[in-house]
């Protein structure tokens, strides 16, 4: 029997300079927690991919890799679900205004794929009105 989705077993809240090295360290920390629960290999792949894409968007696109700007990261995990909130200090963007990266006209455009991947692999995703905060959750299928 699975635990209720509101029963979090691990919670973190951190603020750090715009740096993919720090982001990757946090991804590793989250993945070690998630791997302790019965997620499938496909689900683990999806969780790691969406974390990587969301952090890359915040660090590179949002904060333009400016180490003076900060990333706020919150994450909650239990055996059945992961919830994440990432906020950057950038100007934001309109996720609905991105060109469709699956359209042959846009296949060589180097942006938009991360948002498409995130939308594909998560259970729920939303951005704030400004577009500098992403909040998503992924539920375990099993």
Two structure tokens written together for 108:
């060589």
Query: Which pTM was predicted?
Result: 0.90
Q: How many residues does this entry show for the chain?
A: 142
pLDDT for 2: 47
Q: What is the pLDDT of residues 97-125, one digit of tens each?
A: 877 777 788 777 767 688 889 999 999 99
Is 10-139 CATH 3.40.50.40? no
pLDDT for 103: 75
Overall average pLDDT of the 126-130 stretch: 97
Please, are residues 32 and 83 in contact by the beta-carbon 8 Å criterion? no
Cα 46 to the center of its chain, rounded Å: 10
Whole-number Å distance between alpha carbons of 126 and 129: 9
Domain residues of the chain, as ranges?
A: 10-139
pLDDT for 105: 80
Q: What is the pLDDT of residues 32-55, one digit of tens each?
A: 999 999 999 999 999 999 999 999
Q: How does the average pLDDT of the chain come out, rounded?
A: 91
Overall average pLDDT of the 49-74 stretch: 97
Own/partner contacts of 33-41, CB < 8 Å, gap of 24 or more, are 33/9, 33/77, 34/77, 34/82, 37/77, 37/78, 37/79, 37/80, 37/140, 38/79, 38/140, 38/142, 39/140, 39/142, 40/140, 40/141, 40/142
């Amino acid at each position: 029997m699975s635990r209720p989705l509101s029963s979090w077993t691990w919670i973190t809240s951190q603020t750090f300079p715009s740096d993919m090295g720090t982001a990757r360290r946090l991804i590793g920390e989250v993945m070690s927690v998630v791997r302790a629960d019965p997620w499938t290999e496909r689900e683990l792949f999806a969780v790691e991919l969406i974390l990587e894409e969301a952090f890359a968007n915040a660090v590179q696109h949002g904060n333009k890799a400016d180490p003076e700007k900060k990333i706020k990261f919150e994450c909650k995990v239990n055996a059945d679900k992961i919830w994440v909130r990432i906020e950057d200090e950038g100007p934001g963007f309109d996720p609905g205004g991105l060109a469709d990266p699956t359209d042959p006209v846009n296949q060589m455009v180097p942006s938009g794929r991360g948002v498409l991947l995130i939308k594909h692999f998560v259970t729920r995703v939303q951005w704030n009105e400004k577009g500098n905060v992403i909040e998503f959750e992924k539920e375990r299928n099993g």
